[in-house]
Amino acid sequence: MPIPLTCPHCRRSLETLDEHAGRQVRCPGCGGVVEVPVFLPPGAAPAGPASAPSAVVVPPGPAWTGVVFHPREFFAARTGPGGLGRAFLFGTICLALGDLGPWGWQWLSGTDLVTQLQEVNDQLGQLYPQLGLPAPPRLPDSLLGTLRTATRPWVVVPVILVLAPLHLLTWAVLFHIGVWMAGGRGFENSLRISGYAWAAEVLHVLPFGVFCCCFWGVFKILIWLVAIRAMYYGALSLHRLSPSRALLAASFPLLAAGLLGVGCGCCIAVLFAPLVARAG
What digits encode the pLDDT tens for the residues 142-155? 777 777 777 777 88
pLDDT along the chain (280 residues), means of 10: 75 74 71 69 48 51 76 76 82 88 74 70 76 72 74 82 90 91 87 89 70 63 87 88 90 82 72 57
pLDDT at 113: 67
CA distance 167 to 65: 22
Please indicate, yes or no, whether residues 18 and 97 belong to a single structural domain of this protein.
no
Please indicate, yes or no, whether residues 41 and 95 belong to a single structural domain of this protein.
no
pLDDT at 179: 92
Closest CA to 170 of 102, 264, 240: 264
Q: In total, how many domains does the chain have?
A: 2
Q: Is 174 among the domain residues?
A: yes
55-74 burial, b for 16+ CB within 10 Å, e for fewer?
A: bbbbbeeebeebbbebbbbb
Q: Which of 22, 40, 58 is the last residue of a domain?
A: 58
Q: Is 224 among the domain residues?
A: yes
> CA separation (Å) from 268 to 15, 271, 275?
58, 5, 11
Q: Is 104 among the domain residues?
A: yes
Please indicate, yes or no, whether residues 238 and 107 belong to a single structural domain of this protein.
yes
Range of the domain at 96: 84-112+151-279
Please indicate, yes or no, whether residues 88 and 211 belong to a single structural domain of this protein.
yes
User: Are 228 and 250 in contact, with CB atoms under 8 Å apart?
Assistant: yes
Please indicate, yes or no, whether residues 96 and 51 belong to a single structural domain of this protein.
no
Please indicate, yes or no, whether residues 104 and 225 belong to a single structural domain of this protein.
yes
Please indicate, yes or no, whether residues 189 and 274 belong to a single structural domain of this protein.
yes
Q: Is 71 among the domain residues?
A: no
Please indicate, yes or no, whether residues 96 and 32 belong to a single structural domain of this protein.
no
**144 sits in which H/E element:** helix 141-150
Please indicate, yes or no, whether residues 29 and 104 belong to a single structural domain of this protein.
no
Closest CA to 178 of 83, 242, 251: 251
Closest CA to 216 of 131, 124, 101, 55: 101
Q: Which of 58, 73, 93 is the last residue of a domain?
A: 58
pLDDT at 55: 53
Q: Is 139 among the domain residues?
A: no
pLDDT at 16: 77
Please indicate, yes or no, whether residues 50 and 182 belong to a single structural domain of this protein.
no
pLDDT at 239: 87
CA distance 276 to 96: 32
pLDDT at 50: 42
> CA separation (Å) from 83 to 12, 61, 132, 230, 261?
20, 17, 62, 17, 31
Instruction: Provide the 3-class DSSP secondary structure of residue 183.
Output: coil
Please indicate, yes or no, whether residues 95 and 53 belong to a single structural domain of this protein.
no
pLDDT at 208: 59
Q: Which of 58, 73, 102 is the last residue of a domain?
A: 58
Which pTM does this prediction carry? 0.65
Q: Is 77 among the domain residues?
A: no
Q: Is 223 among the domain residues?
A: yes
Q: Is 133 among the domain residues?
A: no
pLDDT at 63: 72
Please indicate, yes or no, whether residues 171 and 265 belong to a single structural domain of this protein.
yes
